Amino acid sequence: MIRLEPLEVQMPEGFVSTALTLKKLGLVAVAGAVCLAQGASAGGDTTERVRGYFCDAKADQIAFLNAKARGESEIMAANRVNKRLARMSCAPYLPATAVPTGDHTIMDGGLVYKLQSYVFLPEKVERWSGTVLGSLQVVAKEQDI
């Protein structure tokens, strides 16, 4: 049976003379790696500069996109949603700093929507943006395509 003794590292003269064992060095290395990993994941939130029409809720954004799909302008679609809600939900945003929090694909009323949620900084308020990808309406004849 081989028994390993801790290796002692002597500091050169002029430094505080302390003996470090491999076990202590290993613990320090593991702690440093954990700290670096946590720092990397915390800094993983990438911010973007976004602009355009955003709504307070996912349902409001779907109603906004539905009005745009019917041919209304962005201003008219936002006014329609805001009047229906009796409050300001959909509005244009100048370039602002936001953190993307997720993409959602939703099918509603035969239309396919791609929605993105953002958390606006520094307020930390979630807003929704999106686009209409297409229709799942079945055409009656091939000539209608």
Which are the contacts of 7, defined by CB distance < 8 A and separation ≥ 6?
A: 21, 22
Query: Where exactly are the structural domains of the chain?
Result: 51-135
What pTM did the predictor assign?
Answer: 0.62
Low-confidence ranges of the chain (pLDDT < 70): 1-45, 137-145
In whole angstroms, what is the distance from residue 117 CA to residue 142 CA? 37
- Reported as a single tens digit per residue, the pLDDT across 103-145 is 999 988 788 999 999 999 889 999 999 998 887 766 666 665 5
